[in-house]
Structure 1
Amino acid sequence: MPTERERPPSSPARDHVCRGYRRRGEFVSRAQEFLAEGLAAGERVLYVAPGDEAVLTGQLRADERCDEGLERGAVQVASVDATYTTGAVVDPAGQVELYAAATSEALAAGFTGLRVAADATSLVRTPAQVDAFARYEHLVDHYMAAHPMSAMCGYDVAELGGDVVAQLACMHPTAHDGGAPFHLHGHARDGSAAALGGELDLDSRELWPQALERAGLRAEGGEVVLDAAGLDFADHRSLVALAGYAERHATTVVLRTRLATPARLVELLDLTGVRVERAA
């Protein structure tokens, strides 16, 4: 058996966090912390942001932990400007494939996984970009739930506005300064199509139906199952929207929640496309 010294470091729990920021320095500081955590766990880390790669590398060298990682080749840096043309709309599935390949390469090189800190502000400046990137955020979350990849996605709230950032934040399991009242993401249990947490209230009335469509939820046996054990509140509007989704997609949505109210509302409103089950 390997000794404690020989044993590889354990990787931290996989995570996918949205980080809204208002000053560039805020994101850089958070990225340094996020990537340093991965380095300590033996992961390969990747820093993606707009600007010259030499400048981006200098931002990481300001943190001695990242500086050491750069010296031994555990840190990679990529400029968004060099990778995407202005106004480019990402291909959600293709983007996931790129990160899946990068994760496989990291594992083959002896790392415990891949950790990415990316400032994606320049990729979500138009409605078409936001729509595609929100779809990608949900899709890559499913990948991360089953593979050793973690990511922190940064968005400039001052530039994009709170409404746009909320559209992206709600596709993450965790968000800071993103203004999303709920989270529809891929870190689900029991083979559910997605996980749902937070609150579906008046503030969600436009965001919720939009997120449902962008998620591209997978139906199994004619049903879409949502792991809503983390749901804290759901109003009647959100359940009507769920029934509308079920009707448009000719499916039944199964909401597994610890809340008692949704079942009563579904019965009172006769929402035949929604079935509420008690979450374990």
Structure 2
Amino acid sequence: MTATDVTRTHAPSRAMHGHAMAVGHAEGDFARAALAAFAGAEDSEALMLVADLSRLDFDPEEVLVAGSGRRLDVVDVAGAYDAFQNEDADKLLHDWDAVLDEILAAGHTGLRVFADNTAMLAGSSQTTERWLRWEQQTDAWQARRPISGTCFIDAQLVSDELVSCAARVHPAVSGSNTPRWSLHHGYVAGRIRLVLSGDVEVWDAPALDAVLTREADIRSCAPDDGQPCEIDVSNVRYLHHTPLRSLAALDPRGVRLVGAPTIVRRLMAALPTVSGIELT
């Protein structure tokens, strides 16, 4: 595969969210999605490609930076996630912090990462669960640091169900149907805030519970200011009362729903027995 092949067929470039996911369905989609993600980067940003080097079928320097002189670090996916595989997410996050600090000290304004995470979903259920937990933890970290990360998933090797699970914890998804709902992080007014969006039906309660269980575990290990967990629900279109009770159980100090639309306010008014939720 050459730079010409990829450039001719890649999706239009766009600025990515701080944390996004791209789904591939055919040979060459990894290179095309990486090029699209990096095309939106500022010249002052450093670039990093995390890939299975044994399967890489193109020259990253030729295809992704095309002799521009930009910094591009290419890392093998196995080495990048050694600490993660050993169930030490805190050490992995510390390692990434150190990498980002070095890049900023070198004069770059930020880091843009494109990583092939297919193996994390194509492996054992334990690996998948650890990866989903890691994605939620790094989502909060990326919300407050100058880094943009895109996770690539090869749908040819992963079930549709697992692709949907991964999509729900990413603010932006390309190459796949947008999930009906998602839960991710935003950095608002100097603090991390969860963002719940979309239509959350009664049958979504188990999947939401799984996301919230990981979130509660992550929050319990993280320093905070003692304030209730804030969840931005301004983009919720529908919320069944069963998932609402799951939200209420997220934080023993209470949960504050920010920007609650009319449908959420009406639901709360009809369910006076749901405690621990404050509307703002």
Paired residue for 1:212? 212
Paired residue for 2:110? 113
Sort the Cα spacing of 1:198 and 1:59 in 2 relative to 1 into closer, same or farther, 3 A. Answer: farther
Count of aligned pairs: 257
Paired residue for 1:66? 65
Same amino acid, percent of matched pairs: 22
Sort the Cα spacing of 1:160 and 1:207 in 2 relative to 1 into closer, same or farther, 3 A. Answer: same
> Could you give the per-residue CA deviations for residues 143-189 of structure 1, whole angstroms, max 9, x where no partner exists?
22211100110112232212212222211111221653222112142
Match of 1:234 among 216, 224, 239: 239
Sort the Cα spacing of 1:277 and 1:184 in 2 relative to 1 into closer, same or farther, 3 A. Answer: same
Question: Normalised by the size of structure 1, how large is the TM-score?
Answer: 0.80
Match of 1:15 among 7, 15, 18: 18
Sort the Cα spacing of 1:93 and 1:199 in 2 relative to 1 into closer, same or farther, 3 A. Answer: farther
Sort the Cα spacing of 1:276 and 1:80 in 2 relative to 1 into closer, same or farther, 3 A. Answer: same
Paired residue for 2:100? 103
Paired residue for 2:134? 136
Sort the Cα spacing of 1:16 and 1:263 in 2 relative to 1 into closer, same or farther, 3 A. Answer: same
Paired residue for 1:223? 228
Instruction: Decide whether the 8 Å contact of 1:165 with 1:178 is kept in 2.
Output: no
Sort the Cα spacing of 1:257 and 1:155 in 2 relative to 1 into closer, same or farther, 3 A. Answer: same
Paired residue for 1:185? 184
CA distance in 1, matches of 2:160, 2:262: 32
Paired residue for 2:9? none
Equivalent AA in structure 1 for residue 32 of structure 2: S
Question: Normalised by the size of structure 2, how large is the TM-score?
Answer: 0.80
Q: What does residue range 1-280 of structure 1 map to in structure 2 within 5 Å?
A: 15-38=18-41, 40-52=42-54, 55=56, 58-63=58-63, 66-69=65-68, 72=69, 74-84=71-81, 88=85, 90-124=87-121, 125-176=123-174, 177=176, 179-190=178-189, 191-202=191-202, 204-216=204-216, 218=219, 221=226, 223-243=228-248, 245-246=249-250, 249-278=251-280
Consecutive unaligned residues of structure 2, counting only runs of 5 or more, are 1-14
- Cα drift, residue 30 of structure 1: 1.0
- Cα drift, residue 130 of structure 1: 1.7
CA distance in 1, matches of 2:192, 2:50: 31
- Cα drift, residue 59 of structure 1: 3.7
- Cα drift, residue 44 of structure 1: 0.8
Consecutive unaligned residues of structure 1, counting only runs of 5 or more, are 1-11
Equivalent AA in structure 2 for residue 213 of structure 1: T
Sort the Cα spacing of 1:209 and 1:254 in 2 relative to 1 into closer, same or farther, 3 A. Answer: same
Instruction: Decide whether the 8 Å contact of 1:48 with 1:77 is kept in 2.
Output: yes
CA distance in 2, matches of 1:160, 1:13: 23
- Cα drift, residue 82 of structure 1: 4.5
Give SS of 1:77's match.
Answer: strand
Paired residue for 1:3? none
